[in-house]
Structures are given as structure tokens and as C-alpha cells.
Amino acid sequence: MSELKGVRKSYEIGKTIGEGSFAVVKAGRHIETGTPVAIKIVSKRDALFNEESLDREIATMMQCDHPNCVALYQVFDEPQNTYLILELITGGTVMDRIVELDMCSEHLACNVTKQVLNALQYLHNIGIIHRDLKPENILYASNDPRSPDYNTIKLADFGLAKFMTGSGAMKTICGTPAYVAPEVLSQEGDAPEGYDCKIDLWSLGVVVYVMLCGFPPFADENRALLFEQIKRGKYYFLSPYWDSVSDQAKDMVSKMIVVNPEERLDTTQCLNHPWIMNEDTASTTRLHASHRAFLLIRKLRIFESIDARVLQEISSKLRSLKVPAGKYVIRAGEVGDSMYFIDNGAVQVLCNGSPIDHLQTGDFFGEIALTVSKERIADVVSLGCDATHARQRGIQDGDTAPAELLQLLRTDFEELMVKYPVLKSRLAFIGQARVRRQANAVARELGLANENASKSSEADPQQTLRSRNEFKQKWKSLRLIKGEELEGELGVGTGHLAKKLKKNSKRATSQGSWLFRSWTNSGEGKNFDIGYFLLSFLCATASAALVVYILSDITVYINA
């Protein structure tokens, strides 16, 4: 029996809890102390891997020691992957919490803002600019209301963070479009002026704006026009969405979202602003009636950067449904005519009786049915509401609270597309984006499974056999869909997608052939569709087989 080495000598690696462009985050546990951690696994084989960027992220996080910043404990650098051992954060994003609580108040927004300002003040004082401040990077430490960290904010994702140097202002164009500061966009041209830590205050101002009304101050389908809006810095506190917001909150936002960085508040000035200083007396009244619906709707990318007028029309079309635990929301074989947002509760996605996904409050499913009338190929069953949500709604312990969904019918969406043609053009990209995301995720999982199996085979042959059986079961539980059907449903060319995936054919071939060897060597290859697999080899090598596997997996997920 071989001794475990590297990260596995100290940590157990569990299930996936997050994914990025070239990394996956898994839950972990320190073997000796039992301390739960998050393990970020960065694949060096990924085409998007940037060693310099990773080194910068590690160097930056190693310098951070603040209660409102996610902590980096250890780094393991191995031949194929780099493992970052991080503080485990379970509370989700600030927007997730707002959706979960079914409300947002000025008091909540003020509390979040104050904690982020404390983190930024610390970072700026030690010479670090975050450069990618947005709601997705502002997290709650715990999802347990009984935990002392339930309301603690953690600033995350230091991938773009950088130390300020004595050589002058920074000039690299980076960040997330809707939250990027105007001076960052002004770095194009022959003589860029550079920028400093004030860019983080602009971004936080935009985050506060979104928290208080549910939509961003700048929005346009055309990115160039969006950037022009940002450079001009013209925005409004639209009625009725801002009518209940205090003058102090509006004043704070108006002094953070300022085009001239010299006139923009810094962290100390923000912390001394009356709105922050008077946090204890900030209003706990629910903000405007459509606030939560806006946040739910904007999770679907086609609604991400549209103005309040469109959001309001969409929210007025949503139909409220309550589905008891154990009841089906969607059945395989029925023709899809609507999509769903999960207002409260959870659902499980099943294919041929096998669970393939678990979705909860704030998630959505069935969106392809907004434009395509096709038979669904997966079941979606309600899991009801958890005990916390049940108690919030006055349901006694022991009773089962139904899952609460918001349904958007295709007929209603078609009316909206006629009125707002931009929605149709956006929808064409939804499937393609999800395919790419799922393809990357599956490729990474195959790579990690290969690595885990090769290491565990020396220590535990039975574990290797179990891993192979899991792959076999997953394959058998999925229904292969012809490429033409997928292309028709998504409005994108699967041939083009296959070409893009095959660019990294060396990795795909090695992983696909490993999967084949695993089944055949274990004596179970006779149960596998050898004819189909060999045909894939003859047609397009093992990488094409992997593409078919990925597309079948994704098609099931999309059509739920």
C-alpha cells in the first residue's frame, strides 16, 4: 500500500461546491484536526491557465489577514494541479442572502457595505487593489442562522487583485463590465493616465445601488454603449424603486459613483459618512415590492443587464406556484411551455430515475422552453421548503412546506420579445454559454477522476472499481441526443462547439481513452456500447467520444 503524498496526505477532498474558468472548488477536511476547508483546484493543463495570474493571486492572499477577507491557509503545487487551501465559506453571495430572506432593507445593505469598506480599507492600507468587486465576490461566512458568523461578510476572489507599486498608477484594463470604473476604461490609447485604489470605491457604489433597488445604474446590450454610459457617469434614482430609500443612502451612492476619482469618496470618508455611521438606526423596512423578483430574474443571463422598465414587465408576467414535496414540476416526455425560478425551496432533477442535479432558492430551470417547443427529457421533483423557510411562513415543525416557484410561460415571453427584440438575440447565447460551462466542468471532473483513480488504485483497488462503476452508471443514466436536435434547441452549431472542444484534444483523448480502459480493464467493458465507442474512434478519435459524452450530459441538464 503506497503512502499518500501532497495535498491528500493532509486533506480529504470532497464534493464540488464551485467552479471557475480554469478551476474547481471542492469541500475538504483536514485529516488530523477535522477542520472543514475549501480546496481550490487549479488545472495547469487547462488552456485558460495563467501561471502569472495564479502566482499573483497567491502572493496577494498570503498578505491578507482580515476578518472580512477569505483566508488562504496553504498551497500545494503538484505537477498537474495547484491546490489552494481556503477558508470554507457557506453563506453564499450577498444577493443569495437577500433572495433567501425574501427581503432587503437599508439596514442589511448598510451592514454589508460597512463590512466591505472595512476590508477595502485594510487592503488599500497594505497596498492591494481588489479590481473585481461585484456581488458574486461578496459572500456571507455561514448559512447557519445559529452561527456567530451568519452575518459576517467575506470579500473573495483575488484573481485580479494587485499590489500598488512605486512605479505609478496601474494601467491594465480588467474587471467586470457593469461594475468597472470609468478610469479603467480610459486606459486605451497612446497615453493612459492610470488608476489607483479609488476604482474599488466606484465598484462598491454600483453594488450598493443594486442592493438598494435590484438593478444596475448602467445597462445596455451593446458593451461599447455600456462603457460610454459608465464614462459619462449619468444615472438616476428612478421612481418608484428609490422612493422609500433614505436621502442619506442616496447621498452615499452619489458620492461613490463619481466619474472623477479625485472627487470620489475613499474608504475612510465612506466609513465616516452619516449613512454608515447611523447603521443602527437604518430602516429595516422592506424595499420596493419588485426588488426580490428583480434579483431572481437577473440571474438568468438574458435579463442580466436590462433596464428597470423591462424587469418590471417581466416580473408582472410571473405566476406563483406552490408545489408540495414529492410532487413533480416537470415530467420527461411532456412538451415544455415554460421555465421556472425557485422563489423558495428546492427541486431535484432526475434522468431515468437517477439524480443529476439539485437546485435551490434563487436557481432556475427549463429556460430553453421559452423559445422551443420540445419534449422534456428529465423529471424535476419538488423537495419542498427547508425548516427555516417553513417557520418563517408560519408552518409548524413536522409539517411539510411546499416549494414556491415563479413560472414564466413561453407565450408571455414571446409577447415580451416582440416588444423588446434584444431579449431574442440574448436568448440565442444562453444555451451556448451553458454548454461551454458544463463541457469545461465535465472535462475537469474527468481529469480529476483520472488523477484520483490512478492514486487510489495503489492504496485501495476497491475504491478504483467503485469510481469506474460510478462513471458507468452515469453514462447509462443519460439519454444520448443527436447533435442536430441539440443544435435546434440551442440555436447554435454543435459542430462548431465540437471543434472548439477538440482544440485541447490531447487532454480530451487521454481522458476519454482512460475512461474506456477503466471499463474494459475492470471486466465490465462487455456491458458498454463498444460499437458506438469504436464508431466514435473511427469518425473523430477519442476526443469526439468525449464531446458526445459531454453534450449528452449537458442536453439532459438544459432540457430539464
Which residues belong to the annotated binding site for ATP? 40
In angstroms, the first-to-last Cα distance of the chain is 44
Decide: 53 and 158 in contact? Cβ < 8 Å: no
Q: Which of 96, 132, 379, 553 is catalytic?
A: 132
Decide: 143 and 92 in contact? Cβ < 8 Å: yes
Q: Bridge partners of 128?
A: 163
Decide: 27 and 17 in contact? Cβ < 8 Å: yes
Is position 363 annotated as part of the catalytic site?
no
| Closest to 544 measured CA to CA, from 490, 514, 501 | 501
Three-state DSSP at 78 gives: coil
DSSP string over 256-308: HS-SSTTTS--HHHHHTSHHHHTGGGS--S---TTHHHHHHHTTSGGGTT--H
Residue type, 143: N
Contacting residues for 110 by C-beta, under 8 A, at least 6 apart? 249, 275, 276, 279, 282
Instruction: Kindly state the DSSP code that residue 364 receives in the 8-state scheme.
Output: E
What are 255's three cell numbers? Answer: 458620492
DSSP string over 478-547: SPP--HHHHHHHHTS-HHHHHHHHGGGHHHHHHHHHHHHHHHHHTT-GGGS-HHHHHHHHHHHHHHHHHH
Residues 205 and 70: their CA atoms lie apart, in Å, by 21
Tell me which H or E stretch contains 140.
Answer: strand 138-140
What are 227's three cell numbers? Answer: 462603457
Decide: 345 and 404 in contact? Cβ < 8 Å: yes
Q: Bridge partners of 320?
A: 406
Q: How many CB atoms lie within 10 A of CB 436?
A: 15
Positions marked active-site: 132
